């Protein structure tokens, strides 16, 4: 089966780190891929250069590439849409500034996806503020009349918190001097912002509870809790800002890598492994229905995802998650106030 993948912001930094890996088969293996690359008119020349380089790689699985500035053309019959195109956060910018800058982009792209993409499209929002952009795009997608007479299900819209998840895996691995492959059940809750809740409470390291392993390297459980509160959580939650400060530009290669992880796992399943995905809440863990929040998720082999339920949250986790959810609710209200919802 040939997969049609739309990528927005295709001449940008993340896309430059993403398109070649996608075309090389890192998501779909040897299955043929058609790329639909969307940009704004000012970036069309730069996108031409990307097209030349894609051609010059002679990827066997890349059967067709179309570059366009028309969202309806970009999303037509898309099986997947990676919504990367947006203005990135600059040093000193907060998320409200970003929402004002990017809400219109996600309203337009969401509406075009609602009209033109396959009804079971997998949408991964990368552009920030990613959770609320996904909410805006899903809302406008679901309002569109489609040729097939169906309405787009807003649950097809997800946002990227896999980068935060991967960062948390690496931060824990470094602390305990263990390979990342030995760690499972790390979770990111809430918003892709500095209120996010990186959570290792239920994580396992080679099958052993992570808090126990951290306590061994920290000189006891109290010191381990301090490390989690004072180092692990803030370091993961502020990693994006740290990369911006160091690079003078927001993370690109790691964001691209995480987006590919997200799409691959959502497409082919996680075989019982928990991953973090920001998905539309159905009220799980007290997150108001409709908000796009990061949760621990598993994906079946048929590509259906579900939030892992039944995790007992202690008071500390509960309070942190509530704070991130409050931020998501205020972003939603702000988006509504700006006319995006």
Q: Which entry of ligand NAD, ligand LMR, none binds 243, CB below 5 to 8 A by partner kind?
A: ligand LMR
Number of H helices, E strands in the chain: 12, 14
Q: Does 14 bind ligand LMR (CB under 6 A)?
A: no
* Calpha distance 291→233 (Å, rounded): 22
Q: Strand, coil or helix: what is 281?
A: coil
Cα end-to-end span (Å), the chain: 36
> What is the CA angle 108-112-118, rounded to 5?
150
Q: Does 204 bind ligand LMR (CB under 6 A)?
A: no
Residue 109 among the catalytic residues = no
The tokens of 208 are what?
């052993």
163 or 169: CB nearest ligand LMR = 163
CB of 244 to ligand LMR, least distance (A): 6
Binders of ligand NAD in range 116-175 (CB under 6 A): 126-128, 130, 160, 163
Q: Does 341 bind ligand LMR (CB under 6 A)?
A: no
Q: Binding pattern to ligand NAD, positions 172-211, x when CB under 6 A?
A: --------------------x-------------------
Q: Decide: residue 239, CB within 10 A, 0-12 exposed, 13-18 middle, 19+ buried.
A: buried
Pick one of 7, 88, 277, 334: the residue that binds ligand NAD (CB under 6 A).
Answer: 88
* Calpha distance 288→10 (Å, rounded): 33
Contact 82, 158 (CB under 8 A): no
**CB count, 10 Å around CB of 146?**
14
Q: Does 241 bind ligand LMR (CB under 6 A)?
A: yes
The residue sitting closest to ligand LMR, measured at its beta carbon, is 240
Q: Does 62 bind ligand NAD (CB under 6 A)?
A: no
Pick one of 8, 13, 68, 251: the residue that binds ligand LMR (CB under 6 A).
Answer: 251
The 3-state secondary structure of 171-224 reads HHHHHHCCCHHHEECCEEEECCCCCCEEECCCCEECCEEHHHHHHHHHCCHHHH
Pick one of 68, 128, 131, 166: the residue that binds ligand LMR (CB under 6 A).
Answer: 128
| Residues lying near ligand LMR in the complex (CB under 6 A) | 89, 128, 163, 240-241, 243, 250-251
- Supply the residues annotated as catalytic: 192
Q: Name the site residues for ligand NAD (rule: CB under 6 A).
A: 8-9, 11-14, 38-40, 43, 84-86, 88-89, 105, 126-128, 130, 160, 163, 192, 250-252, 255
């Amino acid at each position: 089966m040939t997969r049609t993948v739309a990528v927005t912001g295709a001449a940008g930094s993340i896309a430059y780190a993403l398109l070649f890996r996608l075309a090389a088969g890192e998501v779909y293996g040897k299955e043929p891929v058609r790329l639909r690359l969307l940009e704004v008119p000012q970036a069309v020349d730069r996108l031409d250069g990307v097209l030349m380089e894609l051609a010059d790689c002679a990827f066997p699985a890349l059967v067709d590439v179309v570059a366009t500035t028309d969202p309806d053309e970009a999303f037509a019959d898309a099986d997947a849409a990676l919504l990367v195109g947006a203005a990135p956060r600059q040093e000193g910018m907060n998320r409200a500034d970003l929402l004002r800058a990017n809400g219109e982009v996600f309203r337009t792209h969401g509406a075009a996806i609602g009209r033109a993409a396959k009804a079971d499209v997998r949408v991964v929002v990368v552009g920030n503020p990613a959770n609320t952009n996904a909410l805006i795009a899903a809302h406008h997608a679901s309002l569109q009349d489609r040729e097939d007479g169906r309405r787009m299900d807003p649950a097809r819209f997800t946002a990227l918190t896999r980068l935060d998840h991967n960062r948390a895996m690496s931060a824990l691995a470094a602390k305990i001097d263990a390979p990342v492959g030995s760690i499972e059940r790390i979770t990111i809750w809430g918003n892709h912002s500095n209120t996010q809740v990186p959570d290792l409470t239920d994580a396992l390291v080679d099958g052993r509870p992570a808090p126990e392993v951290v306590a061994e390297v920290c000189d006891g459980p109290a010191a381990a809790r301090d490390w989690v509160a004072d180092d692990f959580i803030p370091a993961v939650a502020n990693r994006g800002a740290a990369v911006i400060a160091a690079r003078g530009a927001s993370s690109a290669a790691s964001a691209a890598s995480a987006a590919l992880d997200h799409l691959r796992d959502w497409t082919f399943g996680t075989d019982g492994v928990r991953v973090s995905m920001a998905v539309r809440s159905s009220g799980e863990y007290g997150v108001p229905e409709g908000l796009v929040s990061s949760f621990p998720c598993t994906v079946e082999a048929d590509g259906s995802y579900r939030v892992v339920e039944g995790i007992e949250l202690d008071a500390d986790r509960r309070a942190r998650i509530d704070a991130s959810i409050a931020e998501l609710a205020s972003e939603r209200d702000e988006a509504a106030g700006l006319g995006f919802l």
